[in-house]
Every structure is written in structure tokens, then in C-alpha cells.
Amino acid sequence: MGKINLKMYIVSDCDSVEVMYASQHYTKTPEEAMAKSMLAGLDLNCDHFTGQHAMGAVKAGLVKETDVNTAISNNFATLMRLGFFNGDPKKQPYGNLGPQDVCTADNQELAREAARQGIVLLKNSNGSLPFSPSVIKTLAVIGPNANVTDTMIGNYHGVPCKYTTPLQGLVETVSATYQLGCPNVACTEADIDSATSLAASADAVVLVMGTDLSIEREDHDRVDLLLPGKQQQLVTEVAKVAKGPVVLVIMSGGGLDITFAKNDQKIASIMWVGFPGQAGGLAIADIIFGRYNPSGNLPMTWYPQSYVENLPMSNMNMRSDNSTGYPGRTYRFYSGETVYAFGDGISYTHFNHHLIKAPRLVFLGLDKSHPCRTSKCQSVDAIGPYCGKVVEVQLRVKNAGNREGSHTVFLFMTPPAVHRSPVKHLLAFEKVRLGKKEKTVVRFTVDVCKDLSVVDETGKRKIALGEHVLHVGNLKYSLNEIIMEVLDLFDNWFLDCPILKAVQPDGEAVLEAKDLASHVDGIVLKD
């Protein structure tokens, strides 16, 4: 706590200390689990376990009373800062807040806005969306999640003020007819005839499919990545006969293999809405009818079904292994095919990126005694005088379309292929809102030791020497490797070493040192 100047308290997840003893068998007794946790810095255990076993740990000499006092002090100090001991709560700034302050118009609008911002548009063939109410006058709304309430709030939630289901949200704009299609998300039986009959008569179709807590929740993992039961068959058959555009809305907590829908030309648009909360139906309708321009991005990679069929879930390795065919995990290391990738998401407008400023070279400034001065190195330790050095990346972002929209600018970096480094990793992101044809400048600060480093095979953080590639959308930019023909280096080497030359990997001298100083932001030093 002292190292990070934490002036609050450390609390466990519920059951976690008991799990150390009863499930993980990390300790032989409950008292040992309590002691090890407290001595590691735990101040409060969310459960009954502390009350049952902390005194036993003290009596057994596993912790001292002073250790208990420290934990209590951290807890009470936080309560004091929160004003728990300042007298009558009703006389404090927030003492009169009650249920009437929860379901205000502003708070309900906030729920709607949060849902809108979280929705991810993944496919929109030929600009099918947004729909115009003057063109799409009859809507077929089909699917097991089309008129749900509890499903929308997912796991770990409060009590909603009210629900607006997808069907209810859509009906507020146009005339809509509803068919369940599946009695539930498990969908062991599907009423395909009724669903296809409805789809064939409507101007457009919205299919609301996906999962619920019977499929995915804490302590209940999915066994595959496919739409449950006969949902895929229902979607495909409805799309075949639909006379108008088909929108597939996926309501789920995690990714699904919907490759069939991605490749189906009859399915014009695909949206992932997560579990969108109490106002999810309003937010879905806002996007489908163009009252809101979608700006969400996927927070996880969507893998194909083959990923779980060929991959043992007990393998927790992040990095891929070509010798065994193991593809790795997460966008940082996964080397296989994806259904959709981390960060994917499209808009009703289009954004362009143009690089304004970025260093081509980065100078570390190694000491004369550094071993990499005399021998070849793949990397150097991410410690030293060069830590704290930052470089700036500037981008011009333009809304090239004809409507206002928000856009998240992701700055990724691919490091040199050393130490089994990531395929790429996210350095920073910023969300901007731009009117049609409007542009702005986005600035990112890249920390050399934090952002240009990787973790080696022993767990040490290293700055990889070589080419680092920055990615923003389809734009790529290299922080190129440069090789130095070193005679001697010291603090003012540019001034005192005029014959020093920068040399490209093919050996061609490009600039003398004094000239080089005026052309670059820095240099990566490598033998």
C-alpha cells in the first residue's frame, strides 16, 4: 500500500479466502488462509470467513494483534473520510438521497445513452441501415430475445426502473408484428413456418437472437460458440424468404460464431447489443431507425467454433505454439481466423486517419558500460535513464461522411518479433465526436519503457530493439530500426563526435551525426 500511496482499504471477492483453503488447498487450515491473506495486505474479506477464523489465527500466533489493528484502521479511516462519523446522515450532503432520486428522467436517459454507446454494428451491406419509417412501414420482429426483460440486465445488477424490450422500442416507431420463433434461447424446437410466413409479408425483418443466463453466467460456462439450439436454422430460413432487408441482433455476454450470417447475403445487417440494460429496446430502435449513429466497438475477439473444438480449455497459455498448432489467446497473441476481431465496429459515416507527427527513430542513450554497446542484443531492460522518455503521435481524424458520428481511435503497436512478443497490443485510444466533414487532431503520448516494451521468457520487461509498427485503422507507421557505427558515446555526442555516421542495415551511410540531429526525434541503439 505504501508503494502506491493507497489510502483506502483492500477487500477480497466474496468467498475468495475460503476458496484458498477449501477448494485450492493452498493452506492446511482456515486460520492459515486467513493469516496469509491478511499478511499479504488484505483488510476486509467479503464473507463470513474472517469472523469465523481471524481470532483463531491470532491465538495460533499466525498473525499479531498489530496486523489486525492495521486492517481495522484502514477500514475505519475510509469510513471516516466518507463521513460515517460526522453526525446525523440526514444533515450531510447526500443524506437525503432515496429511491425517488434513482428513476429520474435524467437517469433513465443515461441508461438509454449507455446502451446506445455500447451497441456494435458489425455488418451493414449496401448501407441497409438505418431504416426510414417512411419506407419501412411494417416490421417483422422475431426471436427468443425480441421481447425479453430480465435477459437485458445480465448478471450482477440492480432493480431496473422499468423495462423497454426490443419489440416495445421498435413498435414506438413503426407498426411491428411479433413471432417468438423459439420458445426460449435453448430453442430445441423452432416454429419456422410461422416465422417465415411473417417475414415474407413484412417490409423488413429484425431477428433478436442470442443467449441468456441459462446459457452463460458466473459458474456456468458455455460449451460452444454457436447460437444455441435451432436459432441458426431459424435465422437462415427467415432470411431466405424475407422480402425486405434482414437485421440480425445478437444479445449475449460473449462472442458467438455467426459466420453463417456474416456470409449470408440475405442478412444485410448484424448488431451486437451485449446485455443492454433496462432501456435496451429503445437504444436498439434508435440505431435501427437512425436516430443514433452507432459507435461501439467489440471488447473481445469472436472466435470460430473450431477454436473450442480443437483447443483444450485447460490450456491457459496466452502465446501461440506452431509446433502443436495451438493458436494462442486474445487479440494480442491469437494467430488464427476470427469471426470478428477486438475493436471491430462500423458507423453510418466514414472516418479517415492521416498521420501528422510521429518519430521515425527513438534514442535510448545507453551508458558506456552497457553490454549492448559491445555485443548484439535483441532487447534492453526497461529500466534506466531512458525510462520516462515519451514520444508524441499526432493524427488528423476526419469524418468523411454526411452525418455526425462518434469514432474511437485505437493506437496499436506491433513490436519486433523477439521474446515471443505479441502480434500487437493496444497502447491508447480516444473517442471523438465529429460533425459531417469535420476533422480534429488526436494526440497520443507513447512511453518508451511502458509502451515499447515486451515481457521476456523470464518475466522481465524489455524494450525490443528493431522495428516497432504503429497501427491506426488501416494506417501503419514504422518506428524503424537504425544501426549505429559507434566510436564513442557520451552526453553531448552529437556535438563532440561529428564523424559519427548513422548507417542503414545495408551499410549505406545516410546522414552525418550533426545533420541527423535535426532530422529525427531519436535513435534506437543497436550494435
Give tens-digit pLDDT for 409-446.
Answer: 999 999 999 999 999 999 999 999 999 999 999 999 99
Does the pLDDT value for residue 485 go beyond 60? no
pLDDT for the residue numbered 68: 94
Residue entry with cell 464473507? 47
- pLDDT over threshold 60, residue 184: yes
The model's pLDDT over 60-80, given as tens digits with 9 standing for 90+, comes to: 999 999 999 999 999 999 999
Q: Which of 13, 221, 321, 496 is catalytic?
A: 13
- Of the chain, the end-to-end C-alpha distance in Å amounts to 41
pLDDT of 526 higher than 60 = no
Q: What is the pLDDT of residue 6?
A: 64
What is the mean pLDDT of the segment spanning 465-473? 90
Stretch 42-54: mean pLDDT: 92
> Higher pLDDT residue, 106 or 310?
106
Q: Which three cell numbers stand for residue 309?
A: 473444438
At residue 83, the pLDDT reads 85
pLDDT digits (tens, 9 = 90+) for 360-371: 788 777 778 888
Residue 81 has pLDDT above 50, yes or no: yes
**Number of CB atoms found within 10 A of residue 475's CB:** 12
- State the Cα–Cα distance between residues 178 and 198, nearest whole angstrom: 8
Contact 284, 117 (CB under 8 A): no
Given this model, what pLDDT does residue 2 score? 54
Backbone angles phi, psi at 483, to 5 degrees: -100, 135
Q: How much is the pLDDT for 494?
A: 32
Instruction: Say yes or no to pLDDT of 351 above 90.
Output: yes
- Per-residue confidence (pLDDT) for residue 263, from 0 to 100: 98
Confidence of residue 260 (pLDDT cuts 50, 70, 90): very high
What letter would DSSP give residue 491?
T
pLDDT tier at 82, thresholds 50, 70, 90: confident
Share of the chain above pLDDT 90, in %: 69
Burial (Cβ within 10 Å: 0-12, 13-18, ≥19) of residue 384: middle
Nine-digit cell at 425? 497490443
Query: What band does 5 get if pLDDT is binned at 50, 70 and 90?
Result: low
Q: What is the mean pLDDT of residues 375-403?
A: 90
Catalytic site includes residue 43 = no
- Residue 195 cell numbers, joined: 416465422
- pLDDT single digits (tens) 234-257: 999 999 999 999 999 999 999 999
Average confidence (pLDDT) over 483-496? 31
- Taking the C-alpha atoms of residue 91 and residue 78, their distance in angstroms, rounded to an integer, is 20
Answer yes or no: is pLDDT of 403 > 70.
yes
Choose the weakest-confidence range: 36-40, 75-79, 146-150, 243-247: 75-79
How far is CA 426 from its chain centroid? 10
Beta strands in 50-135 (DSSP E): 120-124
- Report the run of H or E that residue 77 belongs to, with start and end: helix 65-81
Q: Which residues contact 407 (CB under 8 A, 6 or more apart)?
A: 295, 347, 351, 397, 399, 431, 432, 433, 434
Mean pLDDT of the chain: 88
In the predicted model, what is the mean pLDDT of residues 89-101?
A: 87
- Bridge partners of 2, per DSSP, are none
Query: Can you tell me the distance from the alpha carbon of 394 to that of 430, in angstroms, rounded to the nearest whole number?
Result: 12
Confidence grade of residue 3 (pLDDT, cut at 50, 70, 90): low
Check pLDDT > 80 for residue 511: no
Instruction: Please determine, for residue 480, whether its predicted confidence score (pLDDT) is greater than 80.
Output: no
Distance of CA 350 to the CA centre of its chain: 22
| Widest CA span in the chain | 85
pLDDT at 504: 31
Q: Say if residue 4's pLDDT is above 80.
A: no
- The radius of gyration of the chain from alpha carbons, rounded to an integer in Å, stands at 29
Task: Choose between 480 and 463: higher pLDDT.
Answer: 463
Residue 510 has pLDDT above 90, yes or no: no
How does residue 374 score in pLDDT terms, banded at 50, 70 and 90? confident
- For residue 185, what pLDDT band results from cuts at 50, 70 and 90? very high
Query: Does residue 515 carry a pLDDT above 60?
Result: no
- pLDDT at position 1, please? 47
